Structures are given as structure tokens and as C-alpha cells.
Amino acid sequence: MSILVVGSVAFDTIATPSGRVTDILGGAATYFSLAASYFTEVRVVAVVGADFTSEHEAVLKNRKVDTRGIERTQGKTFRWGGQYLDNLNEAKTDFTELNVFEKFQPRIPKEYADSQFLFLANIHPSLQSAVRREMNGVRLTGGDTMNFWIQGTPKELAETLKLVNVLLINDTETKMLAGEKNLLRAAKKVIAMGPSALVVKHGEYGATIFFREGAFGLGAHPFRAPALPIDEVKDPTGAGDSFAGGFMGYIASQGEINREVLKRALFYGGVMGSFAVERFGTERLQNLTREEIDARFQIFRELTHLE
């Protein structure tokens, strides 16, 4: 089943203990699309500048991602630079150049109107709400946000949260959004804001999904999935977006949506995030096989005794 992602395509400059790269393809929509493409049909809506070449687009097209929703405009593509030299779990931003992304107004091609799943990547909450209202026929909507929007646009974000079925954010963002230091209390408050489920990403410690009482089945018990041990993390950039791509992609590949599917999707999210960090940028996500993905998922099953 088809999934539409709306978000950023960017060029990243990254420094980690493993090295430094300049102007490599990145952006939330890029990582998400590549990760999700191993499970289902993916469509992307984004904006790029004149410096986005056919070679860059081929990275997505080689994974059969539908790029008709990528708008090309005069100017430069969004750029971000950061380093992980002190802490691999936290990026220190060196620069952010929004460029054409600053005036991004998502335009949904008519060919995308029948998309059954929607993921609203990290963009202005008002844009997320507008896209969600336009795509009112989707079966399930996932969403992301960050501290910038939580602090700067709380009213707009509150409206978006009412329209999202599953929110995917990290533990710091969860506590900030709820104004709570305790994660369990914070998760309950976020759920009360609208989402039927909340996925809290813990970086190298895995992820937890919290459910609204009665949503996707009975009960409201949270479920925790660990992270896989990785020999060497070369570049953490995009790990969360790759997690979201694996999570949403797996759900879209299933015939029904229930708690067991969402719990299993946590593991596929973890699998795709673990692959993403093994190389700089999207390199690893470009050249995976489904056999590699399933083999790593099997390691998860053995670690956790997952049915």
C-alpha cells in the first residue's frame, strides 16, 4: 500500500569521529523514503533548488520512490551542518541554511490523492495540519516534530496533534511537550493531546510505544523494543527518520492495523535505523537487500523472544 511522506530533502555536512563529509544527500524525507521503500510504495513531497541534480534524484528513483511531488525552484537546496565529535547521541549544529525550504508550501500531486498512509516529517506544524486535512482519506497518519516547534509554535502544534494517529519523537521532546520530567506521565499527557499512539525513541536504547486506552485494540500497556548493538556508528544523522521509515513502511505493508502490527513495526524501525548509522548519509540505505533486513529482524526476535 502506498505511503506519502512530506518533509525535507537536504544537503548535509557532517563530522564524526569516523570522518567528515560535505554536501551529501540527506533530509528527513530522503531518509524516510529510502527506509520505507523496502516495505511498500513510497511517494515524496518536498522542495529542492537548482543544485539538486538528476544524480541526486536517482538515489530515490533507484529505490522506486515516486519523486513527482518534489518541487524544483530557483535557489539552493536546504543545507545543514553538524558534528558529533563530543557525543554521538547529540548533534552540535554548525549551520542551518533553509534556502528554498524557508518558503516551502507542500503541493500534493493529484496522483497522490489515493495514498493510504501519510507521514508528516519535521516541518512547520501549520503545514503538517494543512497536508493532513487535504489527505483526509488516509488510513493512518504518522508525524514527527522537534523542540523548535514545541517551544516556538505550541498552538499550531496542538492542532496538528489532534490530526495525527501516531506521533514519533524522542524522550527529551516528549518531556518538553508535556512539561513533565517523568517519561510515563509525560507520555500520558501527550496521548491526551490527540494521538492514538506515541512512539518514544531512546536512541541507542531502543524505543517505547504508548497506546491510548482502547486504541488499536484492548488495553493501554506500553511496549518497549531494545536497540541492536552496533559495532561502529559512523554517522547518527537520519537514524530517527530511518526508524520512522521502517516503522511506517512495515505498517503500510500489512493488511490490518492493530497493536501487534505496531509493536512489530518498532523492531523494523530499529532495524532500518541501525543500518542507517553504519555509513555516512544515506549510503547504507541505498544498497540493502530484504534478506539483510529480515536477518537483522531475526536477531531482534531472538533478543526479545518476539512471537
Helix (H, G, I), strand (E, B) or coil at 124: coil
Residue holding cell 495525527? 164
pLDDT tens digits, 12-33: 999 999 999 999 999 999 999 9
With beta carbons less than 8 A apart as the criterion, state whether 222 and 208 touch.
yes
Res 274 pLDDT > 90: yes
Q: Which domains occur in the chain, in start order?
A: 3-304 (3.40.1190.20)
User: Which pTM value belongs to this model?
Assistant: 0.95
* Segment among 90-94, 110-114, 228-232 with least mean pLDDT: 228-232
With beta carbons less than 8 A apart as the criterion, state whether 39 and 293 touch.
no
Q: Report DSSP state, residue 190.
A: H
